[in-house]
Structure 1
Amino acid sequence: MKRSNDSLQGFLHLLRALIREPSVVGVEDAFFRVLRRELEEFPVTITRYHGLLVAQGSEPESNYLSAHVDRHGLLCTGPREFQYAAFIAGNRGELNGDSISEQFMELIAGRFRGQRVQAHTPYAGSYLGQGTITESFICPRRKNLIFDIDGLDFLQPGTPISFVDRLREEDGQISAQLDNVVSVAILIEMIRRGFRGTAFFTAGEECGRSYRYVAEWFQRFDLKTQRLIVLDTSPFPTQEDLNAQEVVLRNRDSVAEFEPTVTDELREVCDQLKVTHRFKDEYVIELNKTREKQSSIGRTELGRLIDATSGDVTGTTLQLPTSSYHTQTETANLSSVEAVLKVLTRLTGASV
């Protein structure tokens, strides 16, 4: 077994703890409280808004970083009825078919058989019980994943159900349901290392709502910026594709072009630090030249945010490459995690 760097042990301890906490998309209140407790250890000002937690350092307008707190899970929607939380009827208004999550729905439909799940109270996060997924299928009328679960027949509608998950570390890799919790852990680690700007932790990204909360925050204080860096994971189909780069950049998504000066600055930092990188939009466009069925370059929180604010809030993304996307075995290289932290530290002027 390949041991991870000593410098990442604190990060891994934090990530291991966060993964155990439920944060089903649309029902993130309990996780926000966990997050607040973690942040109270650091010299930052913490403010909670609807769908958003903000941590501000001593130079709040110097840089802006954003991470999503929600993860995929299920929601009880009726007697012994369980649906994929991101795509229930109340959330579908934000989705039109070109998001990566939607395109993955058919692919992942059969992956959940035998998966252990646990139910929690919606607000407090108190444990209610465990069950096992016996079947999952797409309902053509509701256009959503429907689950049969053994052991949770007593649940009431509105109860969130998360996947039982634990962090695994082996041969220089970590695996779990990493999206989006690994980005949260990276952002907290950046604050620990001395990040002095503003950090956003947003809810509802998996159902396409998180951009609204960030947009409203900037509008609330009549602020604009070109320096918002959104952290996320970026899926690749094979281990070889995963190993081809340490970090993933983007020029744009399917909604908007990102701020080119900040994207170039990020690329230059990667070059200075000898961090290998790939532009995801360029990768997908090249891949589509060899495919009959075209793939979307994806919609991101940042693209929606740029569009919603008419460019008053813009920036770029820094993404961690992973494989086995949206499963409990989503995998990332520890060298990539370390690379993301090095790039962000250099870009923002944080001191370890």
Structure 2
Amino acid sequence: MELFYDILKQLIRIPSVVGSEQPFFMFIKRELEERAIKVEYYDGVLVAKGERPHSGYISAHADRHGLVCTGHNEFQYAAFIAKNKADLTGDSNSEQLLHNFTARFVAERVQAYQPYSGTYLGLGAIKDAFLCERRNNIIFKIDGFDYLTPGMPIAFMDKLDIKDDLISAQLDNVISVAMIIYMYAIGYQGTAFFTASEEAGRSWRFLLEWFRRFDIKTDELLVLDTSPYPTLEELRSIDIVLRHRDSNAVFRSPLKNKIKKIALKEKINFNFKDTYLKNKMQKNNAVRSLGTTELGRLIFATKGEIQGTTLQIPTIGYHTVNETTTKRAVESMIKVLQKLYIS
């Protein structure tokens, strides 16, 4: 696992604010090309191909939450500014959490960078954050960034923290990106997608465009991500997270049962997130969304021509720089990927 954590530590240091992922894409491209993997860059998606590109299709979104300058000394939450949120529907986890976001950001250190080159522009610290009801977004006050012009992205300063059996950072979704690079390092020869703007609900469009560009259909697209849980106790009881469906579509793929069989054989604890959410709603006598995923949107848009399943790592502290999971969960997810695609 030392190689995996080395990859993850490097990736975490590269900013990738939603809408400004170019520097992160270029870093991934270099990492993979150093391993003799062919990499193609299309609008909104970086595509890696091994020697047997049809032997697997794995996807992970590359963007992370952050801020963007929208005026003189004005900074907004990047995923929810008007140019990004056209596809948001109100039922994503991010949107449901919007009203609870503000307090968690105060005192966080941030870095500004050039959106295309990744050139470092300086450090700042968030002094205040408040919800503007008129714009339905969080407005930030940051000391030291009065020279920034509109459009400049601002990423949270981040590093990997490993303590006992837990690892913490802004894991969503850099941990999945690290897993894919690690898989190529140990022998994966299929195709992988790294998508932009998932946190703004747009990534599925880029993925769909790629499949249509080459007239490719599959029922075995595997989408990697993190999945939030409320308590450390629940986190420790789950190793991997699966889904039968989300709010948009039912997941019908042979991959789901393959993963389940691997988990049972390897004594990996798994949880179906949609079942978990349904049980919670029943217990609380409340009706809520089953959540939206990149895959669900893709299945719905293609009327099932593209199908697959999700494989997620359970976390607490969702959408913060202290998002946390267990080492066992990381190892379990990698073991499933190895069994599916290598051994």
Q: Does 1:188 align with 2:212?
A: no
1:235-278, Cα deviation, whole Å (9 max, x unpaired): 00100111121000000000001114321221111112111100
Match of 1:152 in 2: 145
Question: How many pairs align?
Answer: 343
Distance between the aligned counterparts of 2:72 and 2:63, measured in 1? 25
1:86-117, Cα deviation, whole Å (9 max, x unpaired): 00011221111110111111122211111111
Match of 1:20 in 2: 13
Q: Give the alignment's TM-score, normalised by structure 1.
A: 0.96
Question: Which of 241, 245, 265 is the aligned partner of 1:248?
Answer: 241
Shift of 1:290: 2.5
Q: Give the alignment's TM-score, normalised by structure 2.
A: 0.98
Match of 1:76 in 2: 69
Question: Which of 265, 268, 291 is the aligned partner of 1:298?
Answer: 291
Match of 1:284 in 2: 277
Match of 1:137 in 2: 130
CA contact (8 A) 1:212 1:305 kept: yes
Q: Does 1:98 align with 2:91?
A: yes
The percent identity for this pair of structures is: 52
What pairs up with 1:214-229 in 2 under 5 angstroms? Answer: 214-229=207-222
Distance between the aligned counterparts of 1:314 and 1:43, measured in 2? 29
CA contact (8 A) 1:118 1:162 kept: yes
CA contact (8 A) 1:251 1:260 kept: no
1:307-337, Cα deviation, whole Å (9 max, x unpaired): 1112111100000000010111100101110
Match of 1:127 in 2: 120
Partner letter of residue 174 of structure 2? V
CA contact (8 A) 1:113 1:133 kept: yes
CA contact (8 A) 2:240 2:332 kept: yes
Distance between the aligned counterparts of 1:66 and 1:280, measured in 2? 19
Distance between the aligned counterparts of 1:311 and 1:60, measured in 2? 22
Shift of 1:292: 5.3
Match of 2:206 in 1: 213
Distance between the aligned counterparts of 1:154 and 1:54, measured in 2? 36
Match of 2:102 in 1: 109
> Structure 1 stretches of 5 or more lacking a match?
1-7
Aligned residues: CA RMSD: 1.0
CA contact (8 A) 1:177 1:330 kept: yes
Match of 2:172 in 1: 179
CA contact (8 A) 1:72 1:326 kept: yes
- More moved, 283-292 vs 192-201: 283-292
Distance between the aligned counterparts of 1:340 and 1:181, measured in 2? 14
Shift of 1:14: 0.9
CA contact (8 A) 2:130 2:138 kept: yes
> Structure 2 stretches of 5 or more lacking a match?
none
